[in-house]
A and B are shown apart, each in its own frame.
Chain A
Amino acid sequence: MNTSSLAQARLIVSNVPDPEIPAVTLADLGILRSVEEIDGQIVVTLTPTYSGCPATEAIKQDVHTQLAANHITNARVQITLSPAWTTDWITPEGKKKLLAYGIAPPNCSANGQALQFSAPSRGITCPQCESQSTERLSQFGSTPCKALYRCKACKEPFDYFKPY
């Protein structure tokens, strides 16, 4: 296998969309750790988000499918837990895409104040009208990684990607 096909594999995997939030790719979310060639085989290393996130299985499958569609069948997807994934790994590009999709990205680093308990909903911007006047409806939303918020200005509910 030559360097260009490794580069190609890397590009393909980077652009696999997240099954739950198709607006962002695996690379945007920061769950793609590496794409390497080991003994002629493409090895993709992923870090799962939440322990129980059902998307992890779907993502593995999608990576295989996308590679196979580009004639790369000799691939292996491995999962590594350490270091644990954090929302700090979502790229700036990824955060922009989340916002455009209607999901407020984490507003602070996961290392620090976010993991202090009962963080109030300060500074979480409504992805629809950009108002700062928002309130939390529930710490737990439609997927493990999101909380449910409501904008007091435009009255629209929205998802917030919570710091992890």
Chain B
Amino acid sequence: MMAKLVQINIARMKAPIDSPLLADFASQLDVVNAQAEGSAGFIWRLKDDTGNATTISATSPFGPEMLVNLSIWDNPDSLKAFVYRNQNHGAALKNRAQWFESMNIPHFAMWWLEDNEIPTLIDAKRRLQFLADNGDTPYAFTFKKSFSPQDSISEQVNTHLLLSLADEALIHSQRISEWCGHGPILEEDLALGNVALDYLGQARLLFGEVARREGKSRDEDDLAYFRNENEFLNSSLVELPNSSEFGDRDYAMTIAKLFLHSSYMLLKWRALQQSSDRSLSAIASKSLKECTYHFDHAQQWLLRFGDGTDESHSRIQGAINYLLPYTNEWFHDFPIDVAAFEKGIAPLPSSLQLAWRTKISQVIEEADLKLPEPVKFLSRGKKGYHSESLSLLLAEMQSLARQHPGANW
């Protein structure tokens, strides 16, 4: 697959796009856009039904007063040729100050597209912010310093992977801890509290490692409490609520989720013990021991439910049927996963799938339950695309820290 370059360019308008002040600018848009599309190396640009991107501003994450231009090119040279050598665009550049406020934050950034997914403004905003904080990096750069598509992935791969594991543990922990004080019996209340605590401990170790490597002023709390949902890299399954058609907290749903997830993490932690990243390997060795108990616990309840009453059987089967499509994401080789595998940091996700299916199908069969046939559905929580469930979870989890920044026990 040929690498592709994404660029974002934003401009804060001095007046609305349909105002007299911007009339001159607006009248040139169609011509300039058409010439951009005709330029060598142009691949795609974000546009609305009118062919421009002006109406997109109304709902964009940058706010309505910001004009956005998001496009894909084959490489920085093609983009540069259009930006500086196209006459109409060059003229527009010169008159910039008439129409737009000057901004003291970066308004332009480029990065290599990691896969064939259409870039989003949310991602673009994240990258501009990163550029503001860190200068030119493979994650977001300018014409001052270019990076190759290879640089782009290998620089981020370790921290991205650690952050993804940390988010997985944190969100799972938060969801499970909703059972505190609501467990079906006292022993289960304690058990789930303990499981959630293990996950929280793992998350802290991982966030601490990410914070140390970033070398910025962010600590583990900043990573947990001051990132927004699109910045979280947990798989979608862990954010799904404990609820079902049977109520706000369905124990079968939680047990099915813990069963599917701990059996997967068991294989993953085991493989990560061999990671070339020594900190990750150390965390994996600890987490594996804890995960063993989680799996054991979930498995025993799964057997009881499956082998229990008609009610318990149908609820646990329903939960498995509902959750199983969300497990596809765990075994999908996203480009970052391939890069991690090539660096010896992590196993290839797809390499764990067969062992996992074998492991769970043994228990599912013993519980007199059925493992549904695989489907093609692919959730993309690991890429930052989340369900509304995560927003609600974060709202609850982060509200105290956000309302009282720096608060201490």
Residues of A near any B CB (own CB < 8 A)? 50-54, 81-86, 110, 115, 117-118, 137-142, 144, 148, 162, 164
A84 to B289, CA, bound (A): 9
Among the listed A51, A82, A141, which residue makes an inter-chain contact with B204, where contact means beta carbons less than 8 Å apart?
A51
Known: A81-B286, A82-B278, A140-B195. A52 touches B297 (CB 8 A): no
Q: Could you tell me if B292 and A115 are in contact, using CB atoms closer than 8 angstroms? A: yes
Known: A118-B296, A148-B187. A82 touches B282 (CB 8 A): yes
Q: Could you tell me if A138 and B198 are in contact, using CB atoms closer than 8 angstroms? A: no
A39 to B200, CA, bound (A): 35
Q: Could you tell me if B282 and A52 are in contact, using CB atoms closer than 8 angstroms? A: no
A86 to B194, CA, bound (A): 18
A146 to nearest B CB, angstroms? Answer: 9
Q: Could you tell me if A141 and B202 are in contact, using CB atoms closer than 8 angstroms? A: no
B205 in the interface (beta carbon within 8 A): yes
B74 to nearest A CB, angstroms? Answer: 45
Q: Could you tell me if B296 and A51 are in contact, using CB atoms closer than 8 angstroms? A: no
Interface residues as binary, B76-104 with A (CB distance below 8 Å gives 1, 0 otherwise): 00000000000000000000000000000
For chain B residues 270-318, which have a beta carbon within 8 Å of chain A?
Answer: 278-279, 281-283, 285-287, 289-290, 292-293, 295-297, 299-300
Q: Could you tell me if B200 and A117 are in contact, using CB atoms closer than 8 angstroms? A: no
Q: Could you tell me if A117 and B296 are in contact, using CB atoms closer than 8 angstroms? A: yes
Q: Could you tell me if B281 and A51 are in contact, using CB atoms closer than 8 angstroms? A: no
A126 to B130, CA, bound (A): 58
6 pairs of A and B residues whose beta carbons are closest in the complex: A52-B201, A51-B201, A82-B282, A140-B191, A138-B187, A52-B197
A148 to B204, CA, bound (A): 27
A116 to nearest B CB, angstroms? Answer: 9
30 example contacts (A-B, Cβ-Cβ < 8 A) are as follows: A50-B197, A50-B286, A50-B290, A51-B201, A51-B205, A51-B286, A52-B197, A52-B198, A52-B200, A53-B201, A81-B279, A81-B285, A81-B286, A82-B281, A82-B285, A84-B282, A86-B289, A118-B300, A138-B188, A138-B190, A139-B191, A139-B293, A139-B296, A140-B187, A140-B193, A140-B195, A140-B297, A141-B190, A144-B194, A164-B289
A93 to nearest B CB, angstroms? Answer: 24
Interface size range of chain B in the complex: 20 to 34
Main secondary structure of the interface of A (DSSP, over half): loop
CB neighbours (8 Å) of B290 from chain A are 50-51, 144
A-B contact count (CB 8 A): 79
* Nearest-CB residue, chain B, relative to A81: B282
Q: Could you tell me if B287 and A138 are in contact, using CB atoms closer than 8 angstroms? A: no
A47 to nearest B CB, angstroms? Answer: 9
Among the listed A53, A115, A148, which residue makes an inter-chain contact with B289, where contact means beta carbons less than 8 Å apart?
A115
Most buried by B among A82, A140, A142: A140
B232 in the interface (beta carbon within 8 A): no
Known: A81-B283, A82-B285. A50 touches B190 (CB 8 A): no
6 more A-B residue pairs beyond the given contacts A118-B296, A140-B191, A148-B187, with a C-beta to C-beta distance below 8 A: A50-B201, A51-B198, A82-B278, A138-B190, A142-B190, A144-B290
* Nearest-CB residue, chain B, relative to A146: B194
Most buried by A among B194, B197, B201, B287: B194
Q: Could you tell me if A117 and B191 are in contact, using CB atoms closer than 8 angstroms? A: no
Q: Could you tell me if A144 and B198 are in contact, using CB atoms closer than 8 angstroms? A: yes
B199 in the interface (beta carbon within 8 A): yes
B191 to nearest A CB, angstroms? Answer: 4
CB neighbours (8 Å) of B285 from chain A are 81-84
CB neighbours (8 Å) of A50 from chain B are 197-198, 201, 286, 290
* Nearest-CB residue, chain A, relative to B209: A81
A48 to nearest B CB, angstroms? Answer: 8
Among the listed A85, A110, A144, which residue makes an inter-chain contact with B197, where contact means beta carbons less than 8 Å apart?
A144
For chain B residues 164-205, which have a beta carbon within 8 Å of chain A?
Answer: 187-188, 190-191, 193-195, 197-202, 204-205
A5 to B108, CA, bound (A): 60
CB neighbours (8 Å) of B295 from chain A are 117
Among the listed A115, A137, A139, which residue makes an inter-chain contact with B297, where contact means beta carbons less than 8 Å apart?
A139
B337 to nearest A CB, angstroms? Answer: 24
A82 to B279, CA, bound (A): 8
A120 to nearest B CB, angstroms? Answer: 12
A50 to B290, CA, bound (A): 8
CB neighbours (8 Å) of B187 from chain A are 137-138, 140, 148
CB neighbours (8 Å) of A54 from chain B are 197
A47 to B365, CA, bound (A): 40
Among the listed A51, A85, A86, A137, which residue makes an inter-chain contact with B202, where contact means beta carbons less than 8 Å apart?
A51
A84 to B195, CA, bound (A): 19
A52 to B381, CA, bound (A): 25
Q: Could you tell me if B287 and A51 are in contact, using CB atoms closer than 8 angstroms? A: yes
CB neighbours (8 Å) of B199 from chain A are 52
CB neighbours (8 Å) of A148 from chain B are 187, 190
B397 to nearest A CB, angstroms? Answer: 16
A164 to B193, CA, bound (A): 18
A54 to B292, CA, bound (A): 20
CB neighbours (8 Å) of A84 from chain B are 282, 285-286, 289
